[in-house]
Amino acid sequence: MDIQRAASRPLSEVLPPLILGTATFNHQYHHDPSQMPYVDIVRRALDHNIAAFDTSPYYGPSELLLGDALRRIEPAPARDSYFLITKAGRIAGDEFDYSPAWVRYSVFRSLERLGTDRLDLVYMHDVEFVSPAEVLGAVNELRRLRDQGVIRYVGISGYPVRTLASLAEMILRETSEPVDAVLSYGHFCVQNAQLGRAEILERFASAGVDCVLNASMLNMGLLTSRGVNSLPMAAWHPAPQELRKACHDLAAIADAENRHLEEVAIRWSLRNWMYQGSKFGTGCYKREGNEHLPVRIGASVMGVSTVDQLEETWQLWKSVTSEPGQDATNVLVEERMWPSLGDWKDYAWESGGPSFINTRRVMGMVPNDDIAKRLHVTARDEQSSNLENLLSPRRQPAATDGCSIFMAGGRKSKSTASPAKPKNTFVLDNGASTLKAGFVRDGQIGQPRIIPNCIARDRNRKVYVASELEKCTDFGEIQFRRPVEKGFIVNWEVQSEIWDYEFFGSKAPSPCNPSETRLVLAEPPNGLPVLQANCDQIVFEEYGFESYYRGVGPAFNAYHDVQSLFRTPLDAATAANIPAEILLVIDSGYSHTTVTPVFQGRPLHSAVRRLDVGGKLLTNYMARQISLRHFDVRNDPHIVNEMKELSCFVSLDFKRDLERSWKGTRGQRRPEYESGGGIAKDYILPDFHKNLKGSLRDYDPANHTKAQKLAAVQADDDVLTLRNERFTIPEMVFNPSDIGLRQPGIAELIHQSLQDLPVGLWPGLLANMVVVGGNSLFHGFIQRLQKEVVQRVPDDCVVRVARPADPLTSTWAGAANLASHAEMERLAVTKQQYEEHGQAWVARRFAMGPDAS
């Protein structure tokens, strides 16, 4: 297929009818998209003349992987032989920037990632989350880029079809020019076919839209035999549980006909949209042999994860385009599946709307990189005036029928009295490995308890819940069940059992009456809204707390005398002026490592960065190394974790330490290796009879003669000699690429975070870097971090890095200080307010902080 360059032609004359969507090249669908066969998928698509590709910067590494695939295919396909589609405006799950500066920067960044000099079609991404005025401004900016020859066609994309129709009508009304394309997803599938309704299509026709494309024929994985109740999709998919079950039940109906639900769903969508969407379709297909098809056929976007899935979809496409008339699939769907769905037929979940809060603080702030410099688009200079924008979440009205770019503000809720201060506040830092929990009673802060956040079962099948683990005397081959994955609570059944045992049961060690208690709960930054909603509902509806505040854990560290960590304590007159004005919190815990800039006690969400390296990954990798070099300990994570905490350190000169621990070439034993080189240590494994815990001792070459080894065996001592494992394991926090993880190290992550902020904030952040979390206890961690950050920032910036006396409980202690702070009365939400206003209002209040009052 020859894709013509002349943009004067209507989109419907050049748009291929079947488009490969690369949203699946994304962490939301795969733990490591780089391991997908993405090059083979793209190559095979071109072989089948599937000559259009849809991607987005929001889809994680999707643009990079697609660009890499197109560059690696040999012979290289001619640029005019394929059609490139991307999007702009959506940065993260709850972060949007439709400003002209960001739209322009995003488009040129996409050009670089995709390795092209032009883009064929660019949508503004998920338009329902911003105001109509912002959509209009962004579309106008795309049209300016079109007029400059950078892009060819302009469109909008989103989920609610009525909102898409309203915005298309508004754009025509305000500019006298229609959008070229509208992309709708999840609205023309077996479960939800609203896009095919005559009233909706008539509105698109009246708005002058040339092409309406249908995407997500499997409704984001709902219409699959597997369903979406497994990670990673279970954590973010917006469908309610009842809808998930109703769609999963369709798989049994398909099985009864010896068919797969995926095949039925894709065939139904392809065939029916080909005809129902023909008025908004494309004529760019081979007519010879397909005379039974309309002159224009509806265009569809397919998403695949494997070459086999691509082949199956291609076969379905050939089948539906070559067979005229209806087939058995329509009968199966209409007579069996739709009645099974019942009220869930044509159900659409809420997307955007008045309750949504855009966490983007400053519009038009672009990274200080080569792309911005080439465009002469840089971070705005009026930094002081931007600080208020940095701190204030933007609540955007959604487009509704008959919308105008001049929209009134949202409906004001009834005035609500500030919640009365309870006598007891329960402060909980709900970590993945441990809970840090304690009370603030009448303003007096108690000592926190550190409780394992797990349910464990030993080799004798005895079960231990949370703190009961202290009674375990044999950790060999122990198995753990944890409610937290990747930092987020995903299994409330287990989490509730732990909470009940420790805090709310009749025999709880730390009893708590929720109806008379306020809960202050720490959560990781940039939490998923659906998981936050589950948490809020359980806190109020299951436990019935009197009042509640859910805040970002790293930000709680601002509620300390931070300067005392740097040995510059505040005087008594100013010590109470917390939170600290500005600091940069690095939290390296069990699941991940995060970098969170905090200003006046509130996180700057747009600059938060995350590294998927934490204590769990380090322990697992150490178990793998020891199993390869010594003996199998992969079923003993608890023992390996203790070994890691006792023996590992962060090297200040990695190459030198690696040299000191090198044995030498084959058959050689270097003297420095024989002596241990100051690196080697002997770890005595626990036997769970005399010794319940392992111990570390200095390496003595004399103890490693054959005679001494035999004596040790006879004495039943299991000794492991640890050499470079001691420092190569923590090195992953600084250089995750050493194990093939395509993420920057912690120092580079800090630099990336700073790049997203006004330069005027850099000195304050760099001079107040606070490191918390269990990994910060590695010897040398602070010194190495400071050394690497200094190498990445301007010479005139002072870099100070400090660690609290107890980095494990620092977040909890900060939350406890906040619980006694006057600001808490403006932050907390009462149960009465929750019942009156609902969960969406609670989420908005927590996101906006004190500004919500």
Distance CA 603, CA 605 (A): 6
Residue 674's H or E segment, with its range, is: helix 671-675
CB 565, CB 586: distance < 8 Å = no
Strands (E), 580-693: 582-588, 593-599, 602-603, 609-611, 681-684
Cβ neighbours of residue 479 closer than 8 Å, sequence gap 6 or more: 456, 457
Encoded tokens for 282: 């494309």
DSSP H or E stretch at residue 213:
strand 211-215
| C-alpha–C-alpha distance, residues 717 and 145, integer Å | 72
Q: Distance between CA atoms of 387 and 377, rounded to whole angstroms?
A: 20
- Percentages helix, strand, coil for the chain, rounded to the nearest 5? 40, 15, 40
Residue 528 tokens read as 């998923």
In sequence order, what are the residues at sequence separation of 6 or more whose Cβ sits closer than 8 angstroms to the Cβ of residue 821? 559, 578, 579
Q: Are 361 and 391 in contact (CB under 8 A)?
A: yes
Distance CA 100, CA 217 (A): 32
Residue 624 structure tokens: 């793998």
Q: Does residue 651 contact residue 780 with C-beta atoms inside 8 Å? A: yes
User: Is the distance from CB of 217 to CB of 300 less than 8 angstroms?
Assistant: yes
Q: Which residue has the tokens 């979406």?
A: 228
8 A C-beta contact, residue 290 and residue 303: no
Residue 243 contacts residue 347 (beta carbons within 8 Å): yes
- Are 634 and 622 in contact by the 8 Å Cβ rule? The answer is no
Residues 158, 194 contacting (CB under 8 angstroms): no
Q: Which of 321, 351, 36, 359 is nearest to 216 (CA)?
A: 351
Torsion angle, CA of 652/653/656/660, rounded to 10 degrees?
10
Question: Is cis: bond before 448, omega within 30 of 0?
Answer: no
The catalytic site residues sit at 59
DSSP letter assigned to residue 411: P
| The dihedral sign for the CA sequence 662, 668, 671, 675 | positive
State whether residue 87 is helix, strand or coil. Answer: strand
Where do runs of H (alpha helix) occur along 73-124? 100-114
Contacts (Cβ under 8 Å, ≥6 apart) of 339 = none
How far apart, in Å, are the Cα atoms of 559 and each of 69, 436, 599, 814, 844? 48, 17, 12, 5, 23
Backbone angles phi, psi at 194, to 5 degrees: -60, -30
Which tokens in the block code for residue 636? 């003993």
